[in-house]
Each structure stands twice: as structure tokens, then as C-alpha cells.
């Protein structure tokens, strides 16, 4: 904090050829900002050409916060996330995706939790917004929303679609996203897992909502299955880095058994769509864990037309 006891928060928005960037930035324009808090927005354009520059310039007059535009070409999401970390000058750095809209109290809720818990990172919930054309089972089961996973009463990893990082923390300062995972995804899981493993703490602000419309191409079982499989691959790769020999074989067997159980449960619940797909997708995730433990390369997620 500076001499005026002002808390400075940067908000990183990584973007790649998305028109929804306008909506995301406009939602930041109407945030409820706590007293003695200054906000600055960092837009990291990950396209080979600076395609988002004109869009950002057109919105400057509408948005009451300073906007820093950074062109970081390569279609590699880790490069864009690292560009936000390097451009950040505040006490905290928040991340929100370019296809999400922040709730009015989003940053206030994240900051309040960070100050109350002294955590190194604070996650918030991502609530999916389905169109009327999405399958009934998908809307009723809410398969796209993002929430933290609790293990033994704590959060051991995180995500970048709704998070606040304490930049002065020794567990955050100098830490960067893995460039090798910038096209497959999983860079955020690794970032937070390693941060936690080094002694960092992760808290949860349950009312710090952001909203993510589920586009037509994502309201699809195949898209969900690919995403769950990649989640599993990332988890399996992280396990692989910490295990060898008999321990690795044991983990492969356990993940395989979990996958088999989930597929069997999905078959048993074949007449109950939400339960069937929930078990089936969980089985796909555990299959991804087996893949990761076997060292199979993770499927590519970023820098493609589908991802855009």
C-alpha cells in the first residue's frame, strides 16, 4: 500500500479474438469499488496481431478505470497470464476471463475475504448462464459452473477465471505460469498446486460471483468430455511428477478403478440423465488421470478456432 493507505488492485483480462471482451470490460466499469481502493485493468491480447487494440481504445472513455493494453502474441494463454503478472503494479492482481461478466460486488467480496483471511489467493464462483437451447440435463445439472474443490478442509489448487492474488506474498511473487501448458490448459491448476505446495493458502469468497454465458459450441457433451479429460490429464501429470515405480502403478490402478466405477454407475443410472452424465463425465476425468500418469501428452485447448 502507498502512503495514502490506498489499496491498488490490477484486474487482468487475457483475450484472444473474442467480441465478448466488450461485455467483460463494461462489467468492470460498474463495479462497486470500496473506499480507498484504486482499480486498473490490464488487457493482455494473445493474438498474433493486436486485434483487440481498437476494441480497447473505443471503450476507454466509457470505463472509469485506467486500462493498460499489452500485446503478447503467440496464442499461448500462459504468455498472456504472465504478461498480466509482469505488468501488475498493485497490491493485488485479479483475473477474469474475456467471456465473463463480473457482478457488481465481485472485487469487493474478493478483497474482503483476502483481508480477513490473509490468504495468498482468493477464489470466487463462476456461475454459468445457459440459453434456452441448451439440453435440459445440462441446464438442470449445471455442468459448466466453476467452484473450488475442498480436500481435507482446505483448497489445494485453483483457477484463473475468478481469482485474486496477493502480489506481495512470497508464495506468489516471482511465480509464473508454465509456457509448456499454454496451449493445452492446466497451467492454472499447476500454478496454484505448486503455490499451495510451497506453503501458500487459498481462500474462497462465496459471494464474489462472475457469470459466464455458455455458448452453443460449449453446450455439448463432447466439449464437456474433452474438458473433463484434460482436467484429469493435468491432475495425472502432477501426480506423475511426484511418484515413481510402485507408487505410480498404484495410482494408475486407483484412477482406473474409479473410472470403471463411474462408468458402471452411469450405466446403472441410464434413465436419469443428470446423474448418468455426471457419473459418465467423472469417469472421463479419471480416465484422463490415467492418461496423465502414463505420460500421454495433454490435448490442446488454446490457440485454436474452437477455443476462440
Q: List residues bridging with 14 in a β-sheet.
A: 44
Q: What pLDDT sits at residue 302? A: 52
Q: What pLDDT sits at residue 245? A: 82
| Burial degree of 165 (CB within 10 A; 0-12, 13-18, 19+) | buried
Q: What pLDDT sits at residue 296? A: 87
Phi-psi map region of 72: left, alpha, beta (phi>0 left; psi -120 to 50 alpha): beta
Q: What pLDDT sits at residue 307? A: 40
Q: What fold is seen in the domain 7-213?
A: Spore Coat Polysaccharide Biosynthesis Protein SpsA; Chain A (3.90.550)
State how far the alpha carbon of 233 is from the alpha carbons of 47, 192, 219, 221, in Å.
26, 16, 22, 18
Q: What pLDDT sits at residue 50? A: 96
Query: What count of other Cβ atoms lies within 10 Å of the Cβ of residue 305?
Result: 7
Phi-psi map region of 200: left, alpha, beta (phi>0 left; psi -120 to 50 alpha): beta
- The rounded Cα 187 to chain-centroid distance in angstroms is 9
Q: List residues bridging with 239 in a β-sheet.
A: none
pLDDT per residue rounded down to tens, the chain (308 residues)? 444 589 999 999 999 999 999 999 999 999 999 999 999 999 999 999 999 999 999 999 999 999 999 999 988 999 999 999 999 999 999 999 999 999 999 999 999 999 999 999 999 999 999 999 999 999 999 999 999 999 999 999 999 999 999 999 999 999 999 999 898 888 999 999 999 999 999 999 999 999 999 999 999 999 999 999 999 999 999 999 888 888 999 999 999 999 999 999 999 999 999 999 999 999 999 999 999 999 987 766 555 443 43
Q: List residues bridging with 68 in a β-sheet.
A: 42
What is the three-class DSSP state of 302?
coil
Domains of the chain, residue spans: 7-213, 221-293
Residues 6+ apart with CB under 8 A from 133: 216, 219
Amino acid at each position: 500500500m502507498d502512503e495514502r493507505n490506498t489499496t491498488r488492485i490490477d484486474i487482468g483480462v487475457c483475450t484472444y479474438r473474442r467480441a465478448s471482451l466488450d461485455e467483460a470490460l463494461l462489467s468492470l466499469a460498474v463495479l462497486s469499488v470500496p473506499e480507498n481502493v484504486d482499480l486498473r485493468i490490464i488487457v493482455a491480447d494473445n493474438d498474433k496481431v493486436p486485434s483487440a487494440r481498437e476494441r480497447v481504445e473505443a471503450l476507454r472513455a466509457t470505463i472509469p478505470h485506467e486500462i493498460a493494453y499489452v500485446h503478447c502474441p503467440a496464442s499461448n494463454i500462459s504468455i498472456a497470464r504472465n504478461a498480466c503478472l509482469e505488468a501488475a503494479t498493485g497490491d493485488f492482481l485479479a483475473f477474469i476471463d474475456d467471456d465473463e461478466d463480473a457482478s457488481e460486488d465481485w472485487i469487493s467480496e474478493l478483497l474482503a475475504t483476502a483481508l480477513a483471511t490473509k490468504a495468498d489467493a482468493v477464489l470466487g464462483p463462476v456461475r454459468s448462464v445457459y440459453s434456452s437451447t441448451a439440453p435440459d440435463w445440462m441446464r438442470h445439472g449445471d455442468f459448466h459452473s466453476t467452484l473450488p474443490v475442498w480436500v481435507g478442509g482446505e483448497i489445494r489448487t485453483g483457477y484463473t477465471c475468478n481469482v485474486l492474488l496477493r502480489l506481495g506474498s512470497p508464495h506468489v511473487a516471482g511465480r509464473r505460469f508454465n509456457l509448456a501448458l499454454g496451449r493445452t490448459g492446466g497451467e492454472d491448476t499447476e500454478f496454484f498446486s505448486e503455490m499451495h505446495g510451497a506453503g501458500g493458502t487459498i481462500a474462497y469468497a462465496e459471494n464474489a460471483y462472475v457469470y459466464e454465458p455458455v455458448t452453443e459450441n460449449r453446450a455439448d457433451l463432447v466439449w464437456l468430455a474433452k474438458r473433463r479429460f484434460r482436467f484429469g490429464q493435468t491432475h495425472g501429470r502432477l501426480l506423475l511428477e511426484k511418484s515413481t515405480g510402485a507408487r505410480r502403478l498404484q495410482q494408475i490402478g486407483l484412477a482406473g478403478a474409479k473410472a470403471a466405477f463411474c462408468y458402471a454407475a452411469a450405466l446403472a443410472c441410464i434413465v436419469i440423465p443428470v446423474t448418468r452424465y455426471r457419473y459418465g463425465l467423472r469417469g472421463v476425468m479419471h480416465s484422463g488421470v490415467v492418461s496423465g500418469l502414463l505420460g500421454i501428452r495433454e490435448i490442446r485447448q488454446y490457440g485454436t478456432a474452437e477455443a476462440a
